[in-house]
């Protein structure tokens, strides 16, 4: 495998700071999307002013894998057959997008569609409700 992928930014626009967690020490060994909190095992912060590349993640992960290979905080569900730990490292960063970023434009478009759909559904329910009410009134006449 070539090494050029190591020079790729982890995201665009490049993120410059990420916090690092391991699941063995955070008590979160499942596949959830919960955002880690300060009380979980924050191992540190990775800061690269020019933007974090895949290479930076690999470099930061190597000593963590070594240190937590036999971590005593790991649950039984993350143990390998040989007693070592299935180590999951989470790098968490925040990128502030420009207002005209295509991702935000798509998100706004989806939200607008959703609002229109719910408004149309509410209007249809209201029409049906008035129709049913009118029918009941006519039955009484």
CB of 17 to Zn ion, least distance (A): 22
For the segment 68-87, give every residue that binds Zn ion (CB under 5 A).
68, 71, 73
Question: Please, which residue, 24 or 52, has the CB nearer to Zn ion?
Answer: 24
Q: What letter does residue 54 receive in the DSSP assignment?
A: H
Q: How far is the CB of 58 from Zn ion (least distance, A)?
A: 19
Beta strands in the chain, from DSSP E residues, in sequence order: 17-22, 42-47, 89-93
Closest of 46, 45, 40 to residue 73, by C-alpha: 40
Q: Closest CB to Zn ion among 73 and 90?
A: 73
**CB of 15 or CB of 78, closer to Zn ion:** 78
What is the Cα–Cα distance from 60 to 89, expressed in whole angstroms?
A: 10
CB of 15 or CB of 40, closer to Zn ion: 40
| Collapsed DSSP state (helix, strand, coil) of residue 8 | coil
Q: Binding segment for Zn ion among 4-12, 42-50, 63-71, 109-117 (CB under 5 A)?
A: 63-71
- 58: number of Cβ within 10 Å: 10
CA distance 134 to 35: 51
In this chain, which of 15, 20, 24, 48 binds Zn ion, going by CB under 5 A?
24
- Contacts with Zn ion by CB under 5 A lie at 22, 24-25, 68, 71, 73
């Amino acid at each position: 495998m070539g090494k050029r992928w190591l020079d790729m930014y982890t995201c665009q626009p490049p993120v410059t700071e990420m916090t690092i967690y391991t699941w063995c020490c955070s008590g979160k060994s499942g596949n959830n999307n919960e955002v880690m909190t300060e009380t979980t095992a924050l191992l540190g912060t990775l800061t690269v002013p020019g933007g974090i590349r895949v290479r930076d993640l690999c470099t930061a992960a190597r000593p963590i894998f070594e240190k937590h290979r036999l971590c005593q905080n790991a649950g039984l569900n993350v143990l390998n057959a040989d007693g070592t730990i299935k180590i999951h490292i989470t790098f968490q960063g925040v990128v502030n997008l420009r207002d005209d970023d295509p991702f935000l434009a798509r998100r706004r478009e989806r939200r607008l569609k959703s609002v229109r759909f719910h408004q149309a559904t509410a209007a249809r329910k209201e029409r049906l409700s008035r129709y049913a009410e009118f029918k009941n009134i006519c039955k009484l006449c």
